[in-house]
Chains A and B, each alone.
Chain A
Amino acid sequence: MTDIPLSNKRPRFFLAANPSVLVFLALLGLFTLGVTLLSEGAGTGALSTSFVKTLGKTLCLCLVAIAMDLVWGYCGILSLGHFAFFGIGGYAIGMWLMYARTELIVMESLTSATLPPTSQEVSDAIASQIFGVVGASELPSIWVFAHSLPLQLLAVIIVPGLLALVFGWLAFRSRVTGVYLSILTQAMTLALSLYLFQNDSGLRGNNGLSGLQNLPGLDDMPQSIISVWFFWASALALALGYLLANWVISGKFGNVIRGIRDDEARVRFLGYSVEGYKLFIFTLTAVIAGIAGALYYPQAGIINPAEIAPIASIYLAVWVAIGGRGRLYGAVIGAAFVSLVSSWFTGGQAPDVNLGFYTIKWVDWWTVLLGLSFVLVTLFAPKGIGGLFDLLFHRHLIDRHGADLGPDQGSKREEETGQ
């Protein structure tokens, strides 16, 4: 907070008080407009449909990175499980997409029958279509709401939120902090992904849900158009998510969670229930992650349990660290930069480096490079890419003679400060 209180009053309007948000929204708007004009579906076609999808997915990753930054960069909880919530959101929307589309196909094939099909017949036909691949022919009970888009959309919010609420309540109430909490969250996401790998989990085991890019009833609509719609939806979600996150951190709530990050015990002695705040921010960010996932997977077309493997949540922390934690735009920049560079390297577009005795194939070596840059950023540039903005605006460090800003493990390091 760099506003000067008392002498000049805080501007009345939220946006006027936070010019950086305006800049972000303007850039996002321009980017969206540019991509739209260059897309195959709505413009010149300079950008391929698959690239528009990649960009749309990247925006969703930026949104989940904002959630990660709220929970880790601002509240100091190094959650390594937020991709579980992201995946749950994807599964929730995927169930409806798959069910509704299969229902249309089944109805079409059954209209040729002499007798109109009973609802049981329809349900059985859908079940054998979807679950034939795992050798089942009955709809599992968790698919009971899959016919209804509103209910599954509700599940996108409620299921991650409820899981985070229960998990967080148990963990925070027992005062589990620091690395132990990180391990617990890893265990949570690992357990969830192992459970989903089972065929009888009711979500098609390791096959996952597929064909999610096809919207039910819109078979005639080309993917080039649908990709632009999803891109817009992702951009809108990112804009709203950024606004919400900024609102959360800019008031007294933000001061309290920053205090929790740096010195939890002190906040407690001020009379704030630290557990309540942690639970609130953990649950809120889980819901944001769920929404991001629900927008991501229809663009990816497929979701399977490997998506919520523990490593995915670790990548999320790496993005935020490389972008610069404790600043929302840092999370966005980190997620966009690393995930785009990552898809460039792993997509086989990066030229191999021939050293004579060994050829570096980036598909294999990219994770090594990423790991190395993570270590280097942590050691030598703890502010991440976001630190470049501090150079630009001449923000200086608080001189703490090498000490962190608080005794807690999540607290900001001296090198991360800027005022």
Chain B
Amino acid sequence: MTTLLEVSGVSKTFDGFKAINNLSFQIGERELRAVIGPNGAGKTTFMDIVTGKTRPDEGRIVYGDKGASLLKMSESRIAQAGIGRKFQRPTVFEDQTVFDNLMMALKNKRGPIAALLYRLDQRDREKVAALAESIGLRASLPRPAGELSHGQKQWLEIGMLLAQEPKLLLVDEPAAGMTPAEREHTTDLLKEAAKTRAVVVVEHDMEFVRRLDCKVTVLHEGSVLAEGSLDHVTKNQDVIDVYLGR
């Protein structure tokens, strides 16, 4: 399996607090990966660094076949290169319809002039319809996103991510605040997505991670503590200490 993203030796300090400490991480082109860890382990900072929101103090991040460095790219360039991100709190454009939200995310030219001259065609219309179908929001297309329930907003955001056709999907706590039925649907969506791209899921909830049934990376104090199947890492003494001890 070829490597899509390679993070090596990355560190980031905030006011003396080492959020990320010499972190190294790899993910292949079609892989589902869960990242777990206690509070303050650096999970969200890790995502911030990969998506360009935060600049690391040191280290390398290489992405794609050409081995491009992400450190010199702006957030929008990184997103255009195929890295999509879902935030912890669902962030959709509440003032706009579900359709407009998906339309905006749909992979197309991103420049101001291109957006100005953009005309909705049948192909894009069908793409949006298919996406809405897969996230269960087909009937809600004309509704403003602000009216959706919490779980529906989470799905809409996942739908927007898929619409970007990213090569790498970073998903931050997708199941937070969802009902058990909604969680199940979310697991299916993520597993399906991982068949054609790399998906990294940050999650607190062990039950959810178990259902994802994938390789797990445990972060602790800004670096990787253990890696492997969920059963493997939960037997690891270090992991048990971090989660239960102290």
A351 within 8 A of B: no
B38 at the interface (CB under 8 A from A): no
**Contact-size category for B:** 35 or more
Docked pose: A6 CA to B80 CA in angstroms: 27
Q: Are B103 and A255 in contact, CB atoms less than 8 angstroms apart?
A: yes
Asked if residues B104 and A270 are in contact (CB atoms below 8 Å), the reply is: yes
What chain B residues lie within 8 Å of A248 (beta carbons)? 116
A148 within 8 A of B: no
What 0/1 pattern do residues 322 to 343 of A give for CB contact below 8 A with B? Answer: 0000000000000000000000
- What string of 1s and 0s marks CB contacts (under 8 Å) between B70-107 and chain A? 00001111011000110100011111110110011100
- Inter-chain contact B103/A6, CB cutoff 8 Å: no
B17 sits at the interface (CB 8 A): no
A357 within 8 A of B: no
The docked-state distance in angstroms from the alpha carbon of A268 to that of B92 is: 13
Contact with B along A8-28 (1 / 0, CB 8 A): 001000000000000000000
CA distance A344 to B168 in the complex (A): 62
Asked if A417 and B146 sit within 8 Å, CB to CB, the answer is yes
Q: Is B141 an interface residue (CB 8 A)?
A: yes
Q: B145's closest neighbor in chain A, by CB? A: A398
Instruction: From A31-39, A272-280, A358-366, give the one contacting chain B.
Output: A272-280
Could you tell me if B112 and A258 are in contact, using CB atoms closer than 8 angstroms?
Answer: no
Question: B193 near A: Cβ within 8 Å?
Answer: no
Bound-complex Cα distance A231 to B97 (A) = 39
Q: Is the CB of A270 within 8 A of B53?
A: no
Closest to B105 in A: A270
Which residues on the A side are within 8 Å of B96 (C-beta)? 1, 255, 258-259
* Interface size range of chain A in the complex: 35 or more
B146 touches A400 (CB 8 A): yes
B144 close to chain A: CB less than 8 A = yes
Cβ-closest chain A residue relative to B160: A270
**Chain A residue nearest to B97 in the complex (CB):** A1
Q: Are A266 and B95 in contact (CB under 8 A)?
A: no
Partner of A252 from B95, B104, B125 at Cβ < 8 Å: B104
Query: Considering the complex, which residues of chain A in the window 268-290 have a beta carbon less than 8 Å from any beta carbon of chain B?
Result: 268-274, 276-277, 280
Q: How far is the CB of A320 from chain B (nearest CB, A)?
A: 17
Other-chain contact of A405, B95, B111, B120, B128 (Cβ < 8 Å): B95
Q: Is B240 an interface residue (CB 8 A)?
A: no
With CB as the reference atom, state the residue of chain A lying closest to B120: A10
Contact of A412 among B95, B97, B128 (CB under 8 A): B95
A255 in contact with B111 given A6-B141, A400-B146, A417-B95 (CB within 8 Å): no
B100 CB to closest chain A CB (Å) equals 5
Is the beta-carbon distance between A258 and B120 smaller than 8 angstroms?
no
Bound-complex Cα distance A274 to B160 (A): 18
* A interface SS class: loop
Instruction: Give chain B nearest CB distance to A248 CB in angstroms.
Output: 7
> Contact check: which of A251, A253, A263, A419 meets B144 at CB < 8 Å?
A419
List chain B residues, Cβ under 8 A from A276.
111-112
Task: Encode contact with B along A391-419: 1 for CB under 8 Å, 0 otherwise.
Answer: 00000001110000110000010000101
Interface presence of A40 (CB below 8 A): no
B112 touches A259 (CB 8 A): no
Chain A CB within 8 A of B67 CB: no
**CB–CB B141/A271 < 8 A:** no
Q: Is A69 an interface residue (CB 8 A)?
A: no
Confirm or deny: A4 has a beta carbon within 8 angstroms of a beta carbon on chain B.
yes
User: B11 an interface residue at 8 Å Cβ cutoff?
Assistant: no
Which chain A residues border B210 with CB–CB below 8 Å? Answer: none
Would you call A347 an interface residue if the criterion is a C-beta within 8 Å of the partner chain's C-beta atoms? no
A–B pairs, 14, beta carbons within 8 Å: A252-B103, A252-B116, A256-B104, A256-B115, A259-B93, A266-B87, A266-B93, A269-B75, A272-B76, A273-B74, A398-B95, A405-B146, A417-B144, A417-B146
Give residues in A with beta carbon < 8 Å to B: 1-6, 10, 248, 251-253, 255-256, 258-259, 262-263, 265-266, 268-274, 276-277, 280, 398-400, 405-406, 412, 417, 419
17 additional A-B pairs beyond A272-B76, A277-B112, beta carbons within 8 Å, are A1-B99, A5-B97, A5-B128, A248-B116, A252-B115, A255-B100, A256-B112, A256-B115, A265-B75, A266-B91, A266-B92, A269-B84, A273-B76, A276-B111, A399-B147, A405-B94, A405-B95
